[in-house]
Amino acid sequence: MFFATTASSRSILHDRLLFEQNFTFFANRTRPNDRSSFTIRSSTSVQETGKSSKSSELSPELYASTLFPPIKVAKRVVLVRHGQSTWNAEGRIQGSSNFSVLTKKGEAQAETNRQMLIDDSFDVCFASPLARSKKTAEIIWGDREESMITEDDLREIDLYSFQGLLKHEGKAKYGKVFRQWQVDPSNFSIDGHYPVRELWERARSCWTKILAHESKSVLLVAHNAVNQALVATAIGLGTEYFRILLQSNCGVSVLDFTPRSEGGSRYICLNRLNQTPGSPVAKGCSGGRKTTRQIILVCNGSTQSNSEAGFLFTGDQPMDMLGIIQSQKTAELLLDLKVRSIASSPKKACVETATAISRVQEAADCLGADCVPRYVEMKQMEKLDVEKIFQQSVKDISNVRHIRPGWLKEFEDEVTTAVWNQSGKAWQSLLDELSDESDREKVVVVVGHPAIHIAMMAHCLNLTKEWLGSFHLDAGSISTLDFPDGPTGRGVIRCINYTAHLGRWSIPITKSTVDDKEF
């Protein structure tokens, strides 16, 4: 039985803006790393606070762990967006309406997800009751015996009068209102409602139910906007991050919740974002806008000391056989793009990975990917390596393993501050390179230490060093950052920690990241 949103239920939703009425943090910037002022938005006022004001610092716990119920054991939640629907294909605004169903392509995407997750074990599946999402969940869930729960709060964003309109019809009929939906969705209002604010409140409510469920591994199948809200509210981001963390059709995202020693859910890590059935680097639209400039963050393949050092602190080691395979698969994946330049850490494994990518790019004509050879500029950047910083830590770094979510939070503040400052300089250098006006389709590949990549993703989102424990990367992974408004505009995260291209050497999505054999 499918859910249909009624006018009365929407009115109730409108009255439930408890947290959003208090305040929503918004970083107002002229460049991605410009923190000269912040704006704190509420439902009734806008207040400017200066750079020196401590109130402008948003703790990642503000929207996340302090609002969620405590948990006793580690919990992993795997979020999947439904496959392509009939209204997706038509370019029609769906919202929480229930008139579209999966296309044949959408069913095929869901089947790809089923194969992707076939060896992964889940304790429970939560699904939106809307037909397109429910069908996707049924295909992925297959013949598993565990329970499948339809959850009302997982329905797509309520868009009221917009629902059912083709996008050009919405633009013609609603003019400025439709424009605000495109460029300022956080403050978008229609029919007396603020849909994105309502959605964020609903996502927080949904997390309360999911975290209270007695399960360690959860599959959650829902929609584009609601999955964005779930990811954002989990790691502590407000409504201004709508359309910044992409969710493609059948894209898979993973969140790890690790309790404090005394109980709670303070440690929340985005393990993966938007692992899609299709290419994670293909250019197209980001947040509804065409993008032509990208930064691709590549983690080098495994090294000879991987098993002892856990990929993080391997010294100046070359890659082992597995690492060589991983780098070749990454190079093949990136052949879909015309890479203009590659910046790498001077460490051997990073240089080897960068070289593998460069060789495949320059052989594009021989490989049938281009009609002419490609020229790739390669350079080494000391700022992309931070092992010397970690060696100054009083902590025994040999005990810090990359498989633990939020491992960067294990270090003292002096170390994370040094990493943050160095990553900021590296990030600015990359933005300057991306600003080259002579090349309007610039793609820059960056091969560096995972700590630097995590920090640069936080810089892209205009966060602070307190978020360094909120992201995770594996060996051989790639993460894609799009710039639909150019390098002076806001970055959009297309994917984080994508490893599907590694094939049989990819890490299963539900593989334990903690010392828990039963996870």
Binding site members: 81-88, 132, 167
Rg (CA), the chain: 22
Q: Give me 505's structure tokens.
A: 């050497």
Which residue among 20, 82, 459, 501 is the active-site one? 82
Q: Are 301 and 324 in contact (CB under 8 A)?
A: yes
Helix (H, G, I), strand (E, B) or coil at 278: coil
- The full DSSP string for 339-357 is --EEEE-SSHHHHHHHHHH
Annotated binding residues for substrate, written as ranges, equal 81-88, 132, 167
What's CA 375's distance to the chain center, in Å? 31
User: Does the annotation count 82 as an active-site position?
Assistant: yes
Residue 78 sits at φ, ψ, to 5 deg, of -105, 115
**Bridge partners, 319 (sequence order):** 303
What's CA 76's distance to the chain center, in Å? 15
Residue 331 sits at φ, ψ, to 5 deg, of -60, -40
Closest CA to 293 of 302, 284, 301: 284
| Those residues with Cβ within 8 angstroms of residue 444's Cβ, 6 or more apart along the chain or in another chain | 294, 295, 296, 339, 340, 341, 342, 343, 430, 433, 434
Distance CA 277, CA 366 (A): 27
For 291, the enclosing helix (H) or strand (E) is none
Distance CA 200, CA 241 (A): 11
In terms of C-beta distances under 8 Å and separation of at least 24 residues, what long-range contacts does 361-365 make, across chains too? 361/331, 361/334, 361/335, 364/335, 364/338
Distance CA 203, CA 230 (A): 5
| Those residues with Cβ within 8 angstroms of residue 378's Cβ, 6 or more apart along the chain or in another chain | 341, 342, 344, 354, 355, 358
Q: How far apart are the first and last CA of the chain?
A: 32
For 47, the enclosing helix (H) or strand (E) is strand 46-50
Nearest-5° angle of CA 344, CA 477, CA 439? 50
Which residue among 61, 151, 156, 412 is the active-site one? 156
Amino acid at 344: S
Distance CA 484, CA 378 (A): 25
Alpha carbons within 13 angstroms on the beta-carbon side of residue 303 total 23
Helix (H, G, I), strand (E, B) or coil at 495: strand
User: Does the annotation count 352 as an active-site position?
Assistant: no
Q: Active-site positions?
A: 82, 156
